[in-house]
Amino acid sequence: TADQVIGQTVKLPSWEMERTIIGVVEDYHFASLHEGIAPLVIVMADEPRQFALKLTGQDLAGTVAGIERVYEEIDPEFPMEYAFQDENLAQMYLQEDQQARVFSAFSGLSILLACMGIFGLAAFAAHRRQKELGIRKILGASVRQMIGLISREFLWLVALASLVAIPTAGYFIQQWLFGFAYRIVLTQQWFIFLLGSLLAAGVALLTIGLRTYQAAVRKPTESIKYE
């Protein structure tokens, strides 16, 4: 166990040195999440070459300049090189961040084009069935019923699109997740795909309902005369 090894001596062949174990910590990610957690030994070198400092306060530039002045007094021959840990971590996932930005942009454009397409189809359907809507209104059909009549046609299209999109999206997401050592089980996150389908249906209903409502509230006499 961890407590049993504390105080024992371990030899590090690669460094040709022996060190006494003074503590054991839990596994943690010290590299990219694309890689699994590997064994790690933290050793205090005889001549430290790196220091980790935690900076607080708002004047970050002034703090760094002060550290540089102290460093120059100690070792003026070699300039100080430094990096920020948050920037190092961000660099590890730069590709994912860029992919997310591109994906978000194209997703937004796709949704916009889809809404325009649905609106156009709804306008065409309302135009084609204008007289029918007028007659139904004379016979007592409510605006709500007429919106439901037109919407059902498009909801079938949304359902069909979801049946195609969900397996396709699941496959590509799973391939992306394989790039990480520790990942979620996609089959346990089925509600995400359900939410996406419901959102698509909601957008379709809103778009279709708006155009159908405009046609349904027209006077029946105008709808019947409509050519």
pLDDT digits (tens, 9 = 90+) for 120-134: 877 787 777 777 777
**Are 82 and 186 members of one domain?**
no
In a domain, 157, yes or no: yes
**Are 9 and 86 members of one domain?**
yes
In a domain, 158, yes or no: yes
**Are 32 and 64 members of one domain?**
yes
Query: Which residues contact residue 149 at a Cβ distance below 8 angstroms, ignoring those fewer than 6 apart?
Result: 136
Closest by CA position to 216, among listed 152, 154, 127, 155: 127
Q: Give pLDDT tens digits for 39-95.
A: 888 887 777 778 888 888 788 888 899 999 998 888 888 888 889 988 888 888 888
Amino acid type, 218: R
Q: Of how many residues is the chain composed?
A: 227
Residue 184 — very low, low, confident or very high, per pLDDT cuts 50/70/90?
confident
In a domain, 139, yes or no: yes
Strand segments, DSSP code E, in the chain are 9-12, 17-20
Residue in this structure with the two tokens 């419901």, named with its chain if needed: 198
Distance CA 155, CA 129 (A): 18
Residue span of the structural domain in which 193 resides: 113-225
Task: Show which of 38, 60, 92 is a domain's final residue.
Answer: 92
| Per-residue pLDDT at 137 | 77
Residue 11: helix, strand or coil by DSSP? strand
In a domain, 97, yes or no: no
**Are 153 and 183 members of one domain?**
yes
Count: domains in the chain: 2
**Are 88 and 118 members of one domain?**
no
In a domain, 144, yes or no: yes
Residue in this structure with the two tokens 């990610």, named with its chain if needed: 29
In a domain, 102, yes or no: no
| Per-residue pLDDT at 225 | 61
**Are 86 and 190 members of one domain?**
no
**Are 66 and 122 members of one domain?**
no
**Are 87 and 129 members of one domain?**
no
* Single pTM value for the model: 0.62
**Are 68 and 33 members of one domain?**
yes
**Are 129 and 178 members of one domain?**
yes
CB of 67 within 8 A of CB of 79? Answer: no
